[in-house]
Chains A and B, each alone.
Chain A
Amino acid sequence: MELAKFAQLREILPEDRFMLCYSGYVSESVLEAVGGTLKERLNLHITEKKKIKVVFSIFVELMQNLIRYGASGPKGEHIPNEERAGFGMLMIIEDDDGSISLLSGNYVSSEEKLAMESRLERLLGRSHEELRDLMKEQMRKPPEIMSKGASLGLIEIARRSTRPIEAAFVPTANAQHFFSIKAYV
């Protein structure tokens, strides 16, 4: 990457507001390190205890999604599985209205895309009560086969988000898709 291109990032990522940005391989140790920094910064920046907790809890679920589903890098390279580290991007940024957007993205296979779409279908556009019922139902079910985690993470993100969550898939090379998700607090 050229220095000029790198410097352009500064324009996209404004420095004058609350922000945290991570791109690279994610693992539980990255979650812990980035999470520690995030918590410190939230405590300095936000006075409302509840808001800090909601931001932090969505952060943890997004990071664990990246760790569990992001099995391959941008070129489809195989990542050694021992640490379950996958490639992922995460951004937490304060918007002009003071709300905080949390975005995460990673590469998924076509198979993972289908599984993710069916999970998303069940929760996009649902009311608070519907999401609560879905959580209750899923908690008493064994974790889904394609979902390596507890399969409750996405529901938790949708419940905690103060606006409806958004998700998108963009096709990339090697029959992969860039999956991104956005929540608000």
Chain B
Amino acid sequence: MQEAWNVDPRSEIESYNCQVRKENRMDTQTVLVALIYFLACAVACGLVFLVSKKSQVPGVTAFLILTIALAEWSFTYGMEILSSSLAAKTMWAQFQYIGISIIPVGWFLFAQAYSGNEKWGSLKRIIFLCIIPVITILTAFTNRWYGLIWAEYSIAQSGSLSVFHAVRYGYWWWVAFGYSYILIFWGSLVILLARRYRGEAYRRQYALILVGLVLPWGANALFLAHLSPIPFLDLSPIAFTISAIIFGWGMFRFSLFDLVPISGQPVIQRLAAAAFVLDTKDRIVEINPAAYRLVTISNGDPVGLPVAKAFEWWNLITAEQREAIEAQQDITLYIDGMRCYFSLQVTPIWNSSSRLTGRFVILRDITGDKLAGEAMALAQVKTEFLAKIGHELRSPLTSILGLAEMLEYGVYGPLTEDQQGAVKMIFDSSQQMTRIVNDLLQQSRLERGTFRLDISEFVFSDLLERLRNQVEPTANVKGLEFNLELSPNMPKTIRGDSLRLYQIFSNLVDNAIKYTHKGKVVVSVFKIDDLHFDFEVADSGVGIPKELQRIIFNPFQQVDATSNQKESGFGLGLSIVKQLVSLMDGEIKLISEVGKGSKFTVILPFEPAWEDKG
């Protein structure tokens, strides 16, 4: 059976109304229900005690405020149930509003802190959040004059249980009600949305938080809709306490508060480097896709696991690196049997109150850099090796060349015709070898960057005449037509490294003659504009296949189109030509077709005359 005594607060007759109630005798039902609320209060107090020890974790302060408010609400509600007069009940109902008003704020701050939104931890914002609750508490305590919380109230009877019952709420109650729901809803939303992670540890937390959220909402909704199993009895404090127990349990069982998602997660996810966040207990809080590659456990999600369990190699790195709050060091790891180099960077994460909340670990894969470095070192060794070989060969070559010449010259007496032929062959071979050695040395100097051009002014036609004298006899022997055309638009004298220019030209013409078996070799030189001139060698030779044209200028790449005709040499000639042309700020181009012939075009700038003549 239900009864209600309606009271107008301004009539000041509530004290009489309470007399209507049966004697002040406590029945068991009342005591039992009150005990439940006291129990909730005790549990909340216990939570406060336990949680306060976990002060390392963000959000704990807000959670403590929330739990204390909960304890207060439960206690005052229990006291309200125990008291019999309306005056006493009203007083306890007023005290309840301290807890009721604080809970949404505590919850909201906890949700924000837990989700890593530290901006809500500022004093200004907290004061702002407290404005409405403070007014609510004031209006509750001044209700007898203004009736802003309860416009009309009474004692409701539910069985032997009598409870304070708001028949009609005051205007401010609606404000407080709306405000509380907004804060609780907002806080819940923040927590739900912040949980982007679907890691194993987080999934449990997530489930716990959901249950913890739904319970008080459900209880409160039931009460407001007058659907409470015990009519007029607000089960919210109990529901809230159960939530608090769930949170508390989660805290110890699943380290609810320890695995706090760090803000800025999208940034971490998008990092090319492997990155993960560790909490103060070295558990992985966040991990990005790049870091998944380094995870050594075969099944499951590394999130929530101790870092040493997720990354086998974590134990391989030195203790200082592992325990470093702030560190930067290169480390070597074996991943899938591959030697990998990483630059390890550990950055501490501090919260707004300068408390260490975790560490941010970045592992940048520098294997590529390292290998490039090794390749460079290797290239250096090769270059030095070339230089060494070149030098070592020069002395014996001097002997061979000198002795052959001495024999030919007749220092050791006259030679027979056969002997002369043999000496000539020794001489020719040693000259060929000299060219190879010189190429090797030049290549090594070009690679080392120690090669310098020797610029001077010279008569250009002299250089071409020298070239003609060198190559024409060979062309004639092969029965080739040889043309050398020097355009009259070329200046008489030019500045440049005549020795290297000669090397470029003779190399190209030598090649043309070598690979042309019938037809002609045409050399033409002409001025393109005031700044450039063109040296072209066109032949009707074997030509160079397309796939080889790209690599023909690479060092040690000998392209022998005919392949049955083995040419000696290291294939350095064209490579050196190209490097020399580059050194002169020029460019070299090749047009060729197999069976038709090749055309090499060298475009060179005129060396500017820096010094005045005279």
Chains A and B belong together in one complex = no
B residues apposed to A, CB below 8 Å = none
A residues apposed to B, CB below 8 Å = none
